[in-house]
Amino acid sequence: MKKRYKLLLITTAISAVLIATFAPFVTIAIAEERHFIDQMGRNVVVPKNPRRIISLAPNITEILFAINAGDRVVGVSEFSNYPDAALSLPKVGTYIKPNLERIIELSPDIVIATSDGEKEKEVKKLQTLGIGVYVINPTDFFGIIATVREIGTLVSSEVKAEEVALGMEKKINEVRVKVSGLKKVKVLLTFSMEPIITMSSGTFQDDMIKLAGGTNIAANVRIRYPRFSVEEIIVRAPEVIVVTSMSPGDDLKKADELWSRFGTIPAVKTGRIYMINSDIVDRPAPRIVEGLYELARLLHPEAFPEEGGNDEN
């Protein structure tokens, strides 16, 4: 009986020492977990200062590198080609179809995804494995800037994120001042020539056209990314046609050949058909303000006399 009592005392004493020793660490671990509501209204649990981050879209990759979190990115989606440092990182599928096995192998602390193209079942699968997935969905310029700040908070890089966000706001204000009071230009901004795919209101490209001093001829279409026939474009009569392209120099000749057949379109009559680098127009990332500046220069060359007007991009 005495031996059992002594054993109980010893066990209790050891337990007390273990609790006293490790309790602070347990408390810290709990405190390090942070809860966020992502842009889809979902609760996401993220460790403080995550060390292993996976990006599931090129724009997210750009944001992470811009806010000095690139050294913690362990995997990126296909087509994450900026900056150059992202090219050598492990690929984890596309933003439309993430490679779950590869993501799990990389043991991320957090996965950052976009609402466009992400499959709900893949996101849920990662969550059931204890991997937090934060989904973004910016639909206008200030939503993009807010996303930069959000991701900065998410990965504990708030100071640099704020610096980047303020720089973006400054560039937007510069463009606003330059085009203020100028007549709005009717614009067709399209992602491709065959088929002709454009965007309506509720997209950040539509917001870009407005900020650049233009009017989107497809703004009133119910589909976010509609296909247009040439006949419909003739009726809507854009004064400027801008095509986003991965190879603006090479594709300009093709665009001229395509549109030259439709001389009744005002943009064709005046030769105002331009190409623009798709990376700075189609990606909601910090470089989007460069795209805004370039688009404003194409729409309103009179506001940018120091830059030689609207030379073809």
Q: What 3 state SS string does 18-31 have?
A: HHHHHHHHHHHHHH
Task: Round the CA-based radius of gyration of the chain to a whole number and report it.
Answer: 25
What is the distance between the alpha carbons of residues 154 and 174, in angstroms, rounded to a whole number?
29
Two structure tokens written together for 237: 């009569």
More confident residue, 5 or 167: 167
**How do residues 220-257 score in pLDDT, each as one tens digit?**
999 999 999 999 999 999 999 999 988 777 777 788 88
**Are the CB atoms for 132 and 48 separated by under 8 Å?**
no
Domain 181-307 in the same topology as domain 31-163 = yes
Question: Which residues have CB under 8 Å from 101's CB, separation 6+?
Answer: none
Best CATH choice for the domain 181-307 from the list 3.50.50.60, 3.40.50.2300, 3.40.50.1980, 3.30.460.80: 3.40.50.1980
Select from 271, 203, 261 the least CA-distant residue to 234: 261
- Written as six digits, the tokens of 91 are 């690929």
140 C-beta neighbours (distance < 10 Å), count: 19
| Ranges of each domain in the chain | 31-163, 181-307
**pLDDT digits over 162-182, tens only?**
999 999 999 999 999 999 999
pLDDT number for residue 31: 42
Closest CA to 273 of 247, 238, 302: 238
Q: How many CB atoms lie within 10 A of CB 114?
A: 22
Q: Please report the pLDDT score of residue 54 as a whole number.
A: 98
Specify the fold of 31-163: Rossmann fold (3.40.50)
